[in-house]
Chains A and B, each alone.
Chain A
Amino acid sequence: MVKYILRRLLQAVPTFFGITLLAYVLMTAAPGGPLGVLYFSNPKMSNSQKEKLALQLGVHDPVYVQYLRWLIGDDWVRWDSDGDGVADRAVLSELDADGDGVPEPPGERRGVLRGDFGTSFFSKRPVLDVISERIMPTLELSIASLTVGILIGVPLGILAAVRKGSIFDNITRILAVVFDAIPGFWLALMLLIIFAVTFHVVPLGGRCKTTLDDSCPPIYQRLEYMILPIFVLATGPIAGYSRFTRASMLDVIGQDYIRTARAKGLGERMVWFKHGARNALMPIATFLGPSLTGLLGGAVITETIFSYPGLGRALTSAATQRDYPVVMAATIYAAVATILGYLISDILYALIDPRVRFD
């Protein structure tokens, strides 16, 4: 088992590097690049200042060196980070590249792998801080809607399978298609029009009433802010889980051991719920990873509409402002969350299903 987990962890490594590579390539390939944004944000910058900035960002180095420096930092290597001398070739440089007899000071960046995503172009704060404070709100929403999705979707799926072909089954299936086809952002708009604008039951958006010490009250005191976003986000999981559970149930119920259970005289209720549902629910563990991706994706739109200060909204505003460091950090965070989600669901599945082999 430990071996299995370790191997699964190892498999996640190339994926993670793929994501960092993708994020980096997209940012550097964008028209203008990071330098363009910085020049644009400060039009009064003189040419020498521009050159200094370029040297600080190390844009004259080969791309792979820049990528490595972004990934693993430069505080362990001496290079001309202050831009006073000849721009030496970063990682490959000698201790004293410009030959003035004084070794250059080491760089100050610790690199993405050690949690240093640089400084936001706009708020000028460390990106890690900007992103970290956005994690909790998104986590709140995601976990709540996943729970709601499972609590509603799974029983719906089981009942639909038990009463296959009945009106209930058909309604559940239609509901699943409707929930899949409804644009999340439009559903959010409609709910806002009904519950916030017309009936004033919930606020139009936001997360919590700001207090003096800028901390939010516990969740149960601000449910009115969460109820609509959770419902919108839960539609996906409800549709997915009900469909998946139904299929899994019908698959299990056709197996030999169910026939055995019936043959030895067990009641239908016992057969369906004790022998059927318990086994049918196992593959649902594998659904955790994909549904996490769906929730993170849905959060982007939902958070924007409900002015909910989470990771998704951070991404949209950073992307429109071209705040590259924040965009990269948000991307990597989301990817790590997804990779972890898949990892956990695989391990869970292996734990609860004895048929999974660990070799």
Chain B
Amino acid sequence: MTTDIHEKAAIARLKAEQEAGLRGGESLMTKAFRRLRRDRLTMTALIIMSLLTLAAICAPLITDLVLHVDPNSTEYDQLMPIGTPGHLLGTDDLGRDLLARLLHAGRISLTIGFLGATITLAIGLLLGMVMGYYGGWVDDTLNWLITTLDSLPTIYLLIIVSALFRPSPEALILVLAFTGWTGATRLVRGQTISLRERDYILSARSIGSTSWHIMIVHILPNLISVTAISLASGIGGLILAESALSFLSLGVQPPTATWGNMLSKAQNFFNRGVHMAIVPGVTIFVTVLCLYVIGDGVRDAFDPTTSE
């Protein structure tokens, strides 16, 4: 009786929508992208992020052809303020042009963020799916590992590993992924468990599909949207982690510039060179803010329960 009423109500609503010229059978994807295009805040963040990425990719071209400075060339004791002719954003304590360093640092910092988050996600997808699908001792063992890693603040692990092993920028990406995979794994595991019990998985199993076939063909596509949403905020988190680490002089070592290690000496030049602290800091802040806003926006857009 009650289902009958609900059904009728739903049909009526659909009809009303169709009559009003609203979408009939749009996919979640199309809806999501339309919502996204209308979300001004997210679009602004996307544009800023694209510009920053573009600037980082073209950094060598910009510094060579437009600015005519080398990010690593030093001049003894030449701390110049913002707006110095030839040095738009001033120079640091060694006379290195801040704008040029900022652009080159962006290459490293953004690469670490993007690659690190992708690797984290790959680990999360693989382990989470295996844990959620198989359960049993595999699940128990990995769960133990996750709880163990999660009971330590990530920065502790990062500091210990990077202080003891002194990783190169490439190795640092792996270190960040190694310490950050637990969140993504837990997310994927939960999703997999809820998918595992669906009827279409059962029917796939009944016609003799292997476990891996089921996981890759039937479960993985359903996980993509959930995990892709966490990618943007994951990148932001990693950029923050890398900058904190480099700030402590434990991350990427100079003269290779990253946004974090550009800040590490700022504390010694409070009086003469405030811009040394402001310039890289604002860049990190804006980047991470954009990534978080994008993450939130994409999540809202893909959330089927969001009303328009």
Interface residues of A in 171-198 (CB under 8 A from B): 177-178, 180-186, 189-190, 192-193, 197
Which residues of B have CB within 8 Å of A141?
Answer: none
Interface residues of A in 151-168 (CB under 8 A from B): none
Report Cα–Cα, A171/B152, bound state, in Å.
Answer: 33
Q: Is the CB of A197 within 8 A of B244?
A: no
B236 at the interface (CB under 8 A from A): yes
Report Cα–Cα, A335/B154, bound state, in Å.
Answer: 11
A41 at the interface (CB under 8 A from B): no
A327 at the interface (CB under 8 A from B): yes
Q: Number of B residues contacting the other chain (C-beta, 8 Å)?
A: 43
B144 at the interface (CB under 8 A from A): yes
Which residues of A have CB within 8 Å of B150?
Answer: 293
Which residues of A have CB within 8 Å of B289?
Answer: 177-178, 181-182
Which of A2-10, A53-61, A90-98, A315-323 faces chain B? A315-323
Given A26-B160, A183-B243, are A189 and B267 also a contact pair (CB < 8 Å)? yes
Which residues of A have CB within 8 Å of B148?
Answer: 14-15, 18-19, 22
A145 at the interface (CB under 8 A from B): no
Q: Is the CB of A186 within 8 A of B284?
A: yes
Q: Is the CB of B285 within 8 A of A186?
A: yes
Interface string of B154-169 (1 = CB under 8 A from A): 1110011101110000
B240 → A minimal CB distance (Å): 6
A301 partner, pick from B236, B247, B266, beta carbons under 8 A: B247
Which residues of B have CB within 8 Å of A181?
Answer: 236, 240, 285, 288-289, 291-292
Which residues of B have CB within 8 Å of A186?
Answer: 263, 277, 281, 284-285
Report whether over half of chain A's contact residues are helix, strand or loop; otherwise say mixed.
Answer: helix
B244 partner, pick from A14, A19, A301, beta carbons under 8 A: A301
Interface residues of A in 11-33 (CB under 8 A from B): 14-15, 18-19, 22, 26-27, 30-31
Which residues of A have CB within 8 Å of B147?
Answer: 14-15, 18
A70 at the interface (CB under 8 A from B): no
A342 partner, pick from B151, B270, B288, B292, beta carbons under 8 A: B151
Q: Is the CB of B164 within 8 A of A297?
A: no
Interface residues of A in 274-307 (CB under 8 A from B): 293-294, 296-297, 300-301, 304-305
B298 at the interface (CB under 8 A from A): no
Q: Is the CB of A297 within 8 A of B285?
A: no
Q: Is the CB of B145 within 8 A of A18?
A: yes
Report Cα–Cα, A142/B46, bound state, in Å.
Answer: 36
Q: Is the CB of A300 within 8 A of B155?
A: yes
B293 at the interface (CB under 8 A from A): yes
Q: Is the CB of B270 within 8 A of A15?
A: no
Q: Is the CB of B292 within 8 A of A339?
A: no
Which residues of A have CB within 8 Å of B144?
Answer: 14-15, 18
Interface string of B230-268 (1 = CB under 8 A from A): 000000100010011001111000000000000100110
B21 at the interface (CB under 8 A from A): no
A293 → B minimal CB distance (Å): 5
Q: Is the CB of B285 within 8 A of A182?
A: yes
B139 at the interface (CB under 8 A from A): no
Which residues of B have CB within 8 Å of A18?
Answer: 144-145, 147-148, 151
A248 at the interface (CB under 8 A from B): no
Interface string of B275-308 (1 = CB under 8 A from A): 0011001001100110111001000000000000
Q: Is the CB of A183 within 8 A of B288?
A: yes
Which residues of A have CB within 8 Å of B240?
Answer: 181, 183
B79 → A minimal CB distance (Å): 15
B274 → A minimal CB distance (Å): 6
Which residues of A have CB within 8 Å of B159?
Answer: 300, 315-316, 319
Q: Is the CB of B152 within 8 A of A193?
A: no
Q: Is the CB of A300 within 8 A of B153?
A: yes
A334 at the interface (CB under 8 A from B): yes
A338 at the interface (CB under 8 A from B): yes
A121 → B minimal CB distance (Å): 13
Which residues of B have CB within 8 Å of A192?
Answer: 267, 270
A193 partner, pick from B149, B154, B160, B270, beta carbons under 8 A: B270
B194 at the interface (CB under 8 A from A): no
Closest to A320 in B: B163
A185 partner, pick from B149, B164, B247, B274, beta carbons under 8 A: B247
Which residues of A have CB within 8 Å of B236?
Answer: 181
A331 at the interface (CB under 8 A from B): yes
Most chain-A Cβ atoms within 10 A of its Cβ — which of B151, B274, B285?
B151
Q: Is the CB of B160 within 8 A of A338?
A: no
Report Cα–Cα, A160/B149, bound state, in Å.
Answer: 34
Most chain-B Cβ atoms within 10 A of its Cβ — which of A186, A192, A327?
A186
B271 at the interface (CB under 8 A from A): yes
Closest to A330 in B: B156
Report Cα–Cα, A327/B248, bound state, in Å.
Answer: 16
Q: Which 5 A-B pairs have the closest CB atoms?
A: A297-B153, A18-B148, A319-B163, A30-B164, A186-B281
Q: Can you offer 11 A-B residue contacts whose CB atoms are under 8 A?
A: A14-B144, A15-B144, A18-B145, A18-B147, A180-B292, A182-B289, A183-B285, A184-B244, A185-B263, A315-B160, A335-B152
| Chain B residues at the A interface, C-beta cutoff of 8 Å | 144-145, 147-156, 159-161, 163-165, 236, 240, 243-244, 247-250, 263, 266-267, 270-271, 274, 277-278, 281, 284-285, 288-289, 291-293, 296
| Chain A residues at the B interface, C-beta cutoff of 8 Å | 14-15, 18-19, 22, 26-27, 30-31, 177-178, 180-186, 189-190, 192-193, 197, 293-294, 296-297, 300-301, 304-305, 315-316, 319-320, 322, 327, 330-331, 334-335, 338-339, 342
